[in-house]
Amino acid sequence: EAGVAQSPRYKIIEKRQSVAFWCNPISGHATLYWYQQILGQGPKLLIQFQNNGVVDDSQLPKDRFSAERLKGVDSTLKIQPAKLEDSAVYLCASSFLGPLPGELFFGEGSRLTVL
Amino acid sequence: AQKVTQAQTEISVVEKEDVTLDCVYETRDTTYYLFWYKQPPSGELVFLIRRNSFDEQNEISGRYSWNFQKSTSSFNFTITASQVVDSAVYFCALSSDNAGNMLTFGGGTRLMVKP
């Protein structure tokens, strides 16, 4: 079974530039998450989708971050304009839809460096 | 508000030693779920276990065991006879119905097992 795919793995940009990350979840997983993991810290949820609807985006800095999940499958996370503090690993995860918080399957992440 | 604290930022042991990773959580919810995830150097987080707040029985899976104590709000993880392949960052996480099943992660404990 293929895992969660993310690209690019690494990206270096200058502040005020824009960047986009792509995620392809495990086939059949209705729920998709984007997490931000700053070096030395635990992951922090940015946004959660269920199919193509947003469940939770309370911690997404909406003035610069946006995310979409077209057709309930792939998802894109965009940052525009980037700030130095956006340097982090952006993790995508997916899970089955169920009544209980389930096992999340994570991708390897996209590491962003903002100079 | 939910909070997960992993006081040990880094632990170093020699192979075959037992090691316990501590996790203390805070929540006002009566129904909640606790998780442990492993993050190897490749970056993707791997699910290890989920426990609900009504099940305080300890669990053992091979060399791994978990001790859930509601009285002290702790969910500790022990690796018996550690191996070099256990070297990773381990995250404890909390989710509750009232938080929309959003996972709140601790800061992680980096475990280094030396041969």
Q: What is the pLDDT of residue B99?
A: 61
CA distances from A61 to A42, A77, A78, B27 (A): 18, 12, 11, 25
Question: Which of A3, A56, A104 is facing B100, going by the closest CB pair?
Answer: A56
pLDDT, tens digit, 9 for 90 and up, residues A67-99 = 999 888 999 999 999 999 999 999 999 988 776
Higher pLDDT, B57 or B9: B9
Average pLDDT over residues B45-60: 89
Residue A21: how many CA atoms within 13 Å on its side-chain side? 30
Q: Does A77 touch chain B (CB under 8 A)?
A: no
pLDDT per residue over A19-52, tens digit each? Answer: 999 999 999 898 999 999 999 999 999 999 988 8
Find the closest chain B residue to A108 by CA distance: B44
Distance in angstroms (rounded) separating the CA atoms of residues B33 and B26: 12
- Whether residues B105 and A91 touch (CB distance < 8 A) is answered with no
* Token pair recorded at residue B12: 């170093």
Q: Answer whether residue B43 shows pLDDT above 70.
A: yes
Contact B108 A41 (CB under 8 A): yes
Name the closest residue on chain B to residue A43, using Cα atoms. Answer: B105
Chain B residue whose CA is closest to A33: B102
